[in-house]
Structure 1
Amino acid sequence: MVRIKNLFIILLSLLLLLSVNKRAESEIMHLLSTFGGSYNNVKVENSRIYITTENGIIALDASSPADPVLLSFYNGTDLDTFCISNEIAYVAQDEGFDIIDYSNPYSPHKVGSFSTGNSVREISVSNNLAYIADYGGGFKIVDVSTPSSPQLLGKVFVGSFDIDLSISDNNVFTVSGTSGAVKLIDVSDPANPHLKSIYYIPNGYAQKITSKGSTAYVIDGTKKEGNKFAGFNVIDFSNPLLPKITKSAKSYANKDGNILATDSKLFLTSGRTGILKFFDIKNDPLNPVIQSSSYGTGPNSVISAFDVEGTKVYIADKRNGLHIINVNDNFETELLGRYKTVSGVKGVYIVNDKAFLADYYEGLVIIDISNTDLPKWESSYSSAEDGKPINCQKVVVDNGTAYLATANKGVIILDVSDTANPTFLGSYDNIDNVVDLYLSGSYLYLASPKEGLQIIDVSTPTSPSLVGSYKPDSINVNEAKGIYLSGTTAYLSQGYSGVKIIDVSNIQSPRLIGEFTVENAIYALSVKQLNDILYVASGRYLYTVDVSNPSSPTLLHSFTKTNFGANRIALSGNQMYVGGYYDELFVFDISDYTNPQYKGAFKLRTVPPNKYPHGINDIFIDNTMLYLAGGEGGLKIIEGTELPELSHYPSITSISPDTGFFGDKVTLSGNYFGDEKVKVKATDGNLEFDCSIESWQNDEITFSLPWGFKEGPIQFIVENSDGLQTTSENFTYEVNKPVINSVFPKKVNKKESFTVEGENFGPNKYSAEMLVKGGVLSIEKWGNDAIIIKVNKAKKKKVKFRIITPYGKTKWQKIKVRKHF
C-alpha cells in the first residue's frame, strides 16, 4: 500500500511538473498565425489555388469557385515568386528557393531547399527540372527529382541579369531588365544549356515575358511617348539568327504588370490600374488583337499576378484579394468567386472567438478565430449607405454593437449581434477624419485632426448626437492621433502639440486643465494611464508622466532606441507592450509603474531593403493572446506574453574613452552583445563606417575608430547575432593633422624607395593624397604611421612632397635624388 501511495505521489508530481512546463512554454511569445496581408502572387493546379502573401502561403480549394475553401496557411515572410508542380511548391528566397510539400494540403511542410547564391527572380518547374532566372547568377537549371536534395545541372550567363523566364518546348526565353535583352536558350540538354539567340529591344526595359512556340511577348517598362509606358513587344524567334519585333502594342503596361499566353489568348495587366486586358492570338500569334472587353478588380486595385487554368483566370490583387473569373471564347467575362484579404488593418477588437478588424480598404471585417491557427473570413461591411467605400481606422464593440471610426464617413454604428450579417444602425458624420475613439457608457469620445475632441451620445445608436467638444486653439491637419479616458479626464494626443489633458466631468463643456509637452516636439500616437501615471508613445520616445496634478504633469522617465517607432501601447498586468513602426513589439516591465524597464523586443518581420514596414497600428490583449493590427501585413496573432530568451536587444551602458580619433581604441560596456562577434558601426547621421573589432564579449566590446568623420559627435551601432541593434549616446570624434617625423634615407637613386614615418596619414592611399614638385613619386605601401614611396622620375636633384588628408596637410619635405633626369 505504501509503495502504491508513493508511486501515486510521484506520478502526480510528474503531471504537475509537465503542466507547469506546458504553461511556461505557452507563455513564451511566438507568432501563431496571420490573416490577410497583400496578395503577391498566385498559381493554380487542379483547382487548388496557392497565393503568396506578405505573411506566407495560402492554399485554397476552388473546386467550387463561388466558395473557395481555406485549406492551410504556411508561415513565411514577404513571399512572392514561386511555382507549383505536382503538389510541390518551389518558393523563391533571398539566395535560392525552398521546396514545400503540399501532398497533404492541410499540412504543408518544407522538404528541401537550394542555394543559388543570388536573388531568384523567377522559377518554373517542368518534368522535375527547375528553370531559374537567378539575376546576377544568370539562368540555371536544377534537378529537383529528389526534393530533399536538389542538384545543379547547368547554367548560362551572358552579360546581363535575368529577371523573368518562359518555357517553350525545348527552349526557355529570359529577359534581362535594363539591358533590354531577350534571350532564347536551348535546354534540350539540361546539363549543357546554351544561348541560341538574343534580341535587344531598342532603348527598352525587358521586364516580363511569356511565349507561344517561337513567339515571345515582352512587357517593356521603358517610359516614352509622353511619359507613358510603352506596353509590350511581340518578337518573332522563328529564325533564331534573325529575331525581329512584329508588333509593339500600346496598352501601356508598366513594369509592375504581368503577361501570360495560352493557346488562343494573351492576358496582360498594367499592375497599378487593376485592369486585366485580353488579346486574341489564336489565328496569328505574331499579331495580337486587343479586345474591347476587360476585367477590373475594383477600387484601390493593385493587380500583382494572375494565373490561368482552362477558361478560368485567377487574379491576385494586393488590396482586393483573389478574383476567379471565366473568360469564354468570345472574351466575355463572368465573376465566379472571390476570396478576400485585408491589407490596410488599422484597428482590432476581440469579442469571444471573433476578431473585428478596422481595415482602411475593406471597412469592418469580421474574422472567425475559433481556430487561431487558421483564422477565417466571416463577413464584412465595406460600403456606406451611399454606396461609397468606408475607410475604417478604429473599431470598438460593445453588446453586439460596433462603432467604426472612419477617415471619410465620420462614425458608423453597426449591429453585429449576428456576426455573419452586420447591419447598419446609424451614423454621425458631422466630423471629418476620426482617427480614434473611446467608448464609456453611452458616450463615444472621438479624436479628429481638424475637430480635436468630440463627445457624442450613442444611447440611441440609430441617431447619435453631439453633446460636447473641445477644439484646441491651433489645429494642424495632422495633429490629433489618439484618445484615452480615465474617469472624468480625457487625454487627447495632439502630435507636435503634445497631449491635451481635458476635464470631461461636464461632458457638455469639456475644458483644458493641463498639457504635456517636451522640448523636442512629440508625435504622440497612443496614451495609457495606470494609477496617476500616463504612458505616451511618440515615435522615437516612450514617456512616463506623472499626472497626479493634471494642471502640471511631470516627466518621470523617457526611453528611446534606434528604430523604435513607438505608436501604440497596451497594458496587461505588470507588462506593457509597445507597437513599433518597424514591425517590432517592445516589452516593458512595469512592476514599478513609475519607471518602466525595457525587457526586449519580439521581431515580427525583417523589413527587406526595397520594402516598407507594415507597422503595428493597434494591439488587443486577450489572456495570453495578442492580436496586432499590422496594416498591409494584415492581422497577426501572437500566443504567449513572455519574450523568448534570445530576443533581447543589446544595450550600451558606458563608453570609454568618450573622445578619440582614427585608430584609437574604444570600449563599450553593456548587456546582450552576445558571445559571437558580429558588427559595430560608427555614424554621424550621414556617413556610416564599420569599426575594426579587437575583442568581443557579451558585456564588453573593444574596437578601433574608423577614418572619415568630421570633428564632432558620432554614435556607435552594435548588432548582435540575433540581428538586433542598439545605438550609443554621442561620442566626440576628434581630428588630428598629418605630421611627418622623419624621412630616410635622405638620398636615393632613381627607381629606389624611401620611408616616411609620422602620424595620422590615414588607413590607405585613397584616404589622402600626395602632392609632388620636381619629379614623379608613387606609393608602394601606405600605413597610418609609415609610407614607403618610390622615385620614378626627378627633374631636379631635390624632389619635394607633402601629404594632405581631410584633416590637414604636412609641411613640405625634400628627398635628394642621385641620378636624375
Structure 2
Amino acid sequence: MLVFISLAFNSFGAGVDIKTLGFLGGRNYNDIVVSGNYAYVAMSNGLVVFDISNSSVPIKVGIYGTKDEATGIFISGTTVYLAAQSAGLIILDVSNPSSPSLLGSYDSPGIAEGVYVVAAKAYLADGESGLQIIDVFNSSSPFFLGSYDTPGTANGLYVSGTTVFVADNNKGLQIIDVLNPSLPVLIGSYDTSGYANGVYISGTTAYVADSYSGLQIIDASEPSSPVLLGSYNTPGRAYDVYIVGTTAYVADSSAGLQIIDISNPSSPVLLGSYDTSGSANGVYVSGTTAYVAGGYGLKILDVSDVSPPALSGSYKFNAEDVYVSSTTAYVADYFSLQIIDVSNPSLPVLLGSYNTSGYANGVYISGAIAYVANGSSGLRVIDVSNPSSPVLLGSYHASASDLAYDVYVSGTIAYVANGSSGLQVIDVSNPSSPVLIGIYNTSGKACGVYVSGTTAYVADSYSGLQIIDVSEPSSPVLLGSYDITDSWSRGVYVSGTMAYVVGGDGLTILDVSDPSSPELLGSYYTSGSANGVYVSGTMAYMSGSDGFQIIDVSDPSSPALIWIYDTSSGANGGVYISGTTAYVADWDSGLQIIGLSGFSPPVLLGSYNSPEPSTARNVYVSGTTAYVADGDSGLQIIDVSEPSLPVIVGSYDTPGYAQGVYVFGTTAYVADNKSGLLAIDISVPSLPVSLGEFVTPKNAYGVYVNGEKAYVTDYNGLDIIDISTPASMVFRSSYYAPNYEPKDYLQFLDVKVSGTKAYLVDGDSALQIIDVSDPSLPLLLGSYFGPHSSAKAVYVAGKKAYVAGSEGLQIVDVSNSSSPVFLGAYYASGNPKDVYVSGTTAYVANDSAGLQIIDVSDPTYPKLLGSYDTPGNAQKIFVSGSKVYIADGSGGLRIIKVSNIDKNFPDLAVTNVKAPKSLVRDSSYSLTAMVKNKGKAVAEVSGVDFYLSKNNNKDPESVISDIWINSKSIKAIKKGKSTKVTLKWNVPKTVPKGKYYIKAFCDSGGTIVESDENNNVAVSGKVTVK
C-alpha cells in the first residue's frame, strides 16, 4: 500500500486568516458550482458531486462520465449543464446527487468551454465557434436557436439581462445583444491586454480573468464603448473570477487563490492569497466559504476573516531537495531550510526553519550540521542541534557568478556542484570558516554530486557524468567521463561499481568499475525529466516530472518500471529513502511522504514455450491447468500446479491456426481461424480428443462460451452457435455491424457475454452492445465510439466495460445499454491487446510493453500501479488470484505473481455449500452457504443467490444457464469473519428429475467493490431431484 502525506505552508501578513476547511483531490478539476449541501465540479472526465455538509470532510457521492473534458458548469434547480468540449452540451438530472443521470445533450460545432443558462436557454462559449444559443426548455431534446461567431476563441461567458459578455481569449471581452436569440448582434468589445479566460458581471462592471494580465475591471455601463477602470496583475495566470460585494476571488493557476479588494476599481488591492498546491482553475464563493477547483482537486477555504495584511503576498514551500536523519526531514525549499519532525509520518510537524537568503537547492546533513547548496549565495553551514532555532555557523561564496546546486559531505570536506564553476572542494573542519581548498572546472554545468571513497561523481548537465579523483583535495583530477547524448544530467547516485544518472531523458546506468572508461549498462527512458535518484538494493527510486517512480535495476541492462506514484506537482525535486519510507521533494506541493512497507513488485514465477517456435495467442486457466491457443501449434495443455516449473501434459494439433480458447467443464472451445470453431474433449488432458467442429462464415478469431451458446468473433461479425451437443454444433445466427461492408481484414476482435447481452469490439473504434436474449435474432442496443483507432479487447465487470486498444484503456458505464457513457481512461503507450479486471485492478496485455497493472478503483481516474516487461509480445491475459497468465507470443506462456495490489477492500468468498443429497419435488428443504470476508475492510450489506445447476462450474457467468432458486440478503461482514446463510426451498413440481448441483453466488449484482471477484461462487456435492 502506498501512503501519501502532503505538508505545505502558506504565509500571510497580519490580520489575514484563511483556513483550509477540507480537501479532496487527485485529478484536474476545472470549474465548480455549489447548491445547498453539494458542490458540483466539472472535471477532466465529466462531473463529480461532493457532499459538503461538513466542509472539513467533503465526501464524493456521485459521478457522471463524459466523452471529453468538462470545462464549464452551470446549475439550475436540479439540473446541471456541462460544457464538455468536443462532446458539446451535456444536461444532467441531479435530483439524486449520488446518481446523476443524462437528460439530453447537444453536439455543438466547436469546443464547448463554458455555459450559462437563463430562461430555458443555454449560452455556450464554444471555442472557435463563438457563442451558441440553445433552447433547453425540453431537456431531453435541446435544439439550436442562434449563434454569433466571435473573432477570438470563446472561453467563458456571463449573461446579464439580454446581454451576453464573452471572454474571447486574445480578442478580450465581446458584448452581444441576444434580445432576439436567433439573431445575436455585437454591440461592443474591449480588447484586454492578455487572454480573456473568464468573466463575471456585477452591476454595470465586467471583471475579466485575463491570464497573465491578471484581473481586468471594465465599465460596461455603455456596452457600445466599454472603458477600463483598473486592473490587478496577479502573480499567476488568471483563469476564473467570482465577485462578492467589493471582493474579487481569482483562480490564478499556479498562484492559487488571489483575494482582491475592488472597492476602488481604479486601484484594486490584494487582501490575501492561498497557495492551493496545484493549478487553481475555477472558483465559487458561498457566504464565507470559497470553493476552488484545480489540478490538485477541490479545496474548501474559510474566507470569513480576510483583511489587508501588513506585508502583502504569499509564501510557498517549494521543496527542492530532502535529507532524512532519524525522524527529522531537512528540506531545501528554494528560499530556506525547513526542519520537519516525521516521527509520525501521517502527521509531519514543522520544527523550525532558517532563511538562507538565497536559493536553497540541495541539502546534506552530517551530525548536527546542515550543509545547504544555496544558489548564488554559495554554501551555507547551519547548526541544527536545536531544530526549533537553527543558527548560521558559516558560509562560503566565491563569486556572484557561482550557483551552488548540490552538496555532498565526506568527513570534514564538502563537495559542491557549483554550476558553471564546476566542482568545488571546501574544508569545513571549522564550520564557522569554510575554506576553498580545491576546484575542478567541469566542461558543463555541475548540477549534482555524489562522493564514494576518494572519487567524486558529478552530474554535469550537457556534459553527462564527470568522474573526478579527489584523493588529493587541493588538486582534483579528471579520471573519466561519459557523455549522455541529448540529455541534461541533473543528479547522480553511486552504488558499488554502478553510477545511476538522471536527467532530461530518464535514468542512465553506468559501470564505473574502471573510472577512466565508464560503460553504458542500460537506460530507462521517461516521458518527462528526472531530477533525483536514490538506490537501495535492486531498486532505484526516481523523482521527476512523471512523479515518483520505482525502477527494478536487478538487471542493469534492462531496467523496468514496477511502480509509479503521481505526486501533486510532478516530484521535481530530490528523493531520499529511509527504511520503508520515501521522502520526495515535490516543489510547490512541499514534502511528500510515501510508505513502501506494503510494496511488492510483480515477480516471474515460471514460463513455458512449446517445442516449435511459439506463437501463444490466448490463454485460459481452469484450476491448475492452463490452456494455450498456440497458433500453428494448436492447443497446448499445461500443468501449472507448480508455477515455477510448468509442464506440458497434452496438446492437440488443430488443422488451422489457434487464435482463441475458452474452457467450459471438460471441453475446450478453440477459435481456429479458417477451420472455424473446434470442440475438444479435455477430460483426459494427456489425450485430448476432437468432439466436433463448426466452420464459421469467416475466419474465427475469438470465442466466449455462455451456457449452451458459443459466441465467436470472425473477420466480419459475430456468430452465435448452439453447442449443447458438441459433436453436432448448430448455427443460430450472425450479427454484422450497421452499414456493414465485407472487409478483408479483422473487424470484430473480441466478445464478452454478460446475462443476455454481448459486448463486442470491432477493430476500429466502437464498443457495441448486442441483445442476445433470442440467439436467433441478435439486436443492437447501443454503441460507444471511443478515441481508439483500433479497439481490440473488452472485459465486462458489473456495470462497467473496460476496452483496450491503441489509445490505452477506456472505462465505459454500460448500465444503460442504449447509451453507454465514458467514465475515464488510462492512455498507455504501446499497443494494448487485452484486458482482464479483478476487483479494482485492471491487467493489460500491452504487446511489446508487456504487462501493465492499473488501479481502476476510481473509474474516472485510473492510475498505473506497475508494469512487467515480458520477453515476447503480450497478446492475451488471464488472472487467477495473485497469478497472472500471459500468452506472450514468441515468449510463450508467462506466469507472473502480483501481490499487494488490493488496497484495503473487502473480499467476499463462498467457502461451503450444503444441500440434502435427495430432493423430492413439492417438498421443502434447507440450503446453506458459508460466506467469508477474506479482505481487509468491512463488506457492506449484500446477498447470496442460489441456483440449481447441471454443472459444477464456478465461473460466475455459468449461472446464466442454471435454474435460479431464490436469494437471501446478508448483513455487513467484518474482515476475517464469516456468516451462515440458510434458504428454505420448496422444490417446484416443474423441475425435471435428475442429477444436479446447488450453486451459491454472493454479491451477484457486483454492488461491492472487492479485491478478488473470482471466488464468489461455490458448488455443493451432487444432489438428486426425484
| TM more than 0.5 | yes
Equivalent residue for 1:805? Answer: none
Structure 2 distance, partners of 1:503, 1:312, is 62
* Equivalence for 1:588: 552
Q: Deviation per CA, 1:259-305, whole angstroms, max 9, x where unpaired?
A: 222235322232124x3222234x4466543114x32334xx33344
Q: Counterparts of 2:474 and 2:562 in 1: how far apart (Å)?
A: 43
The residue that corresponds to 2:397 in the other structure is 428
The equivalent residue for 1:84 is 34
DSSP 3-state at the match of 2:54: coil
Instruction: Measure how far apart 1:132 and its partner are.
Output: 0.8
Kindly report which structure 2 residues correspond to 1:694-773, keeping only aligned pairs within 5 A, or say none. Answer: 716-718=848-850, 720=852, 722=854
Change (3 A) 1:650 1:318: farther
- 1:182–1:603: structure 2 CA closer, same or farther, 3 Å change rule? same
CA contact (8 A) 1:576 1:588 kept: yes
Amino acid at match of 2:580: T
After TM superposition, list the pairs within 5 Å mapping 1:498-509 onto structure 2. 498-509=464-475
Mapped pair 1:232 → 2:192: no
Query: Residues 502 and 631 of structure 1: is their aligned pair in 2 closer, same or farther, counting only changes over 3 Å?
Result: same
1:135-284 equivalence runs, <5 A: 135-168=85-118, 170-179=120-129, 181-187=130-136, 190-191=139-140, 193-201=142-150, 203-221=151-169, 229-254=170-195, 257-273=197-213, 275-281=214-220, 283-284=221-222
Asked whether the 8 Å contact 2:360–2:374 carries over to 1, the reply is yes
Alpha-carbon separation, structure 1, partners of 2:162 and 2:21 = 39
Q: Residue type matched to 1:311 in 2?
A: T
Q: Paired residue for 1:296?
A: 233
Deviations 1:123-179 (A, max 9, x none): 233423211112222222212121111122233334333211234465432111112
Distance 1:654 1:598, change over 3 A: farther
CA distance in 2, matches of 1:640, 1:78: 26
The answer to whether the 8 Å contact 1:31/1:636 transfers is no
TM-score by length of 1: 0.63
CA positional deviation for 1:120: 1.1
Deviation at 1:376, TM superposition (A): 7.8
Task: Tell me how far 1:311 sits from its aligned partner.
Answer: 2.5
* Local SS of the residue matching 1:177: coil
Partner of 2:272: 337
Supply the distance in 1 between the matched residues of 2:804 and 2:212 (Cα, whole angstroms): 41
CA distance in 1, matches of 2:560, 2:596: 15
Check conservation: 1:680, 1:717, Cα contact below 8 A.
Answer: no
Deviation at 1:111, TM superposition (A): 0.9
State how far apart, in whole Å, the 2-side matches of 1:77 and 1:97 are. Answer: 12
Report the CA distance between 1:465 and its aligned residue.
Answer: 4.1
Match of 2:454 among 488, 502, 511: 488
- Between stretches 461-470 and 514-523, larger displacement belongs to 514-523
Q: One-letter code of the match for 2:565?
A: L
Name the SS of the counterpart of 2:17 in structure 1: coil
| Cα distance in 2 between the residues matched to 1:185 and 1:317 | 31
- The 5 A counterparts of 1:577-656 are 577-579=541-543, 581-588=545-552, 600-605=561-566, 614=570, 616-631=572-587, 635-644=591-600
Residue in 1 aligned with 2:54? 104
Distance of 2:382 and 2:343 partners within structure 1: 22
Q: What displacement does 1:449 show?
A: 3.3
Q: Is the Cα–Cα contact under 8 Å of residues 61 and 71 in structure 1 kept in the other structure?
A: no
Q: Could you tell me how far apart the structure 1 residues matched to 2:835 and 2:105 are?
A: 43
CA shift at 1:561, angstroms?
A: 5.8
Aligned residue for 2:408, secondary structure, equals strand
Q: CA deviation at 1:447?
A: 0.9
Quote the residue 2:534 is aligned against.
570
Q: How many residues align?
A: 619
Partner of 1:761: none
Q: Which residue of 1 aligns with 2:259?
A: 324
For residue 517 of structure 1, what is the aligned residue in structure 2? 482
Report deviation, 1:249: 0.9
For residues 391 and 222 of structure 2, what CA distance do their matches in structure 1 show? 52
Query: Residues 231 and 250 of structure 1 are in contact (CA less than 8 Å); yes or no, is this contact kept in structure 2?
Result: yes
Question: Is residue 398 of structure 2 the alignment partner of residue 450 of structure 1?
Answer: no
Give the Cα–Cα distance (whole angstroms) in 2 for the partners of residues 242 and 681 of structure 1: 41
CA distance in 2, matches of 1:120, 1:94: 6
Residue 80 and residue 694 in structure 1: after superposition, are their counterparts in 2 closer, same or farther (change >3 A)?
closer
Q: Which residue identity is paired with 2:543?
A: G
Gaps of 5+ in 1: 1-27, 38-59, 222-228, 385-389, 608-612, 683-687, 704-715, 732-821
Amino acid in the other structure paired with 2:457: Y
In the other structure, the counterpart of 1:115 is 65
TM-score, with structure 2 as normaliser: 0.52
CA displacement 1:634-676 (0-9 Å, x = unmatched): 54321124535569999999999799xxxx9899xx99xx998
Contact between 1:72 and 1:374, CA under 8 Å: does it hold in 2? no
CA 1:689 to 1:111, structure 2 compared with 1: closer, same or farther past 3 Å? Answer: closer
What secondary structure does 1:80 align onto? Answer: strand
What is the aligned partner in structure 2 of residue 25 from structure 1?
A: none
Amino acid at match of 2:397: Y
Q: How far, CA to CA, are the matches of 1:483 and 1:260 in structure 2?
A: 51
* CA displacement at 1:378 relative to structure 2: 8.6
For 2:273 and 2:608, the matched residues in 1 are separated by 52
Partner of 1:34: 6
Cα 1:144–1:680 change in 2 (3 A) is closer
- Given that 2:319 and 2:586 are in contact with CA atoms closer than 8 Å, whether structure 1 keeps it comes out as yes
User: Do the aligned partners of residues 534 and 183 (structure 1) sit closer, same or farther apart at CA in structure 2, a change above 3 Å counting?
Assistant: closer
Contact 2:532 2:573 in 1 (8 A): yes
- What is the identity, as a one-letter code, of the residue corresponding to 1:637? I
- Where does residue 54 of structure 1 map in the other structure? none
**Aligned partners of 2:850 and 2:527: how far apart in 1?**
13
Match of 2:274, as an amino acid?
Answer: Y
In structure 2, how many angstroms separate the alpha carbons of the residues matched to 1:374 and 1:648?
37
Summarize the Cα distance change of 1:234–1:496 in structure 2 as closer, same or farther, 3 Å threshold.
closer
Secondary structure of the 1:67 match is strand
Counterparts in 2 of 1:105 and 1:355: CA distance versus 1, 3 Å: farther
Please say which of residues 324-333 and 517-526 is displaced more in the overlay: 517-526
Change over 3 Å in CA distance of 1:315–1:416 after alignment to 2: farther
Q: Which digits, 9 at most, give the CA deviation of each residue in 1:575-610, with x for residues without a partner?
A: 4423355334124376xxx96996752222399xxx
Partner of 1:526: 491
Q: Distance in 1 between matches of 2:175 and 2:273?
A: 32
Query: CA–CA distance in 1 between the matches of 2:270 and 2:205?
Result: 18
* Mapped contact 1:600–1:649 kept (Cα < 8 A): no
One-letter code aligned to 1:278: I
Deviation at 1:312, TM superposition (A): 2.4
Identity of aligned residues (%): 27
Q: Relative to structure 1, is the Cα distance of residues 83 and 701 closer, same or farther in structure 2, using a 3 angstrom cutoff?
A: closer
Is contact 1:97–1:115 with CA below 8 Å preserved after alignment?
yes
1:6-45 equivalence runs, <5 A = 28=1, 30-35=2-7
Is 65-74 or 597-606 further displaced after alignment?
A: 597-606
2: CA distance, partners of 1:324 / 1:112 = 30
Q: Whole-Å Cα distance in 2 between the matches of residues 379 and 323 of structure 1?
A: 27
For 1:393, which of 354, 361, 364 is the aligned residue?
361
Separation in structure 1 between the aligned mates of residue 832 and residue 524 of structure 2, nearest angstrom: 27
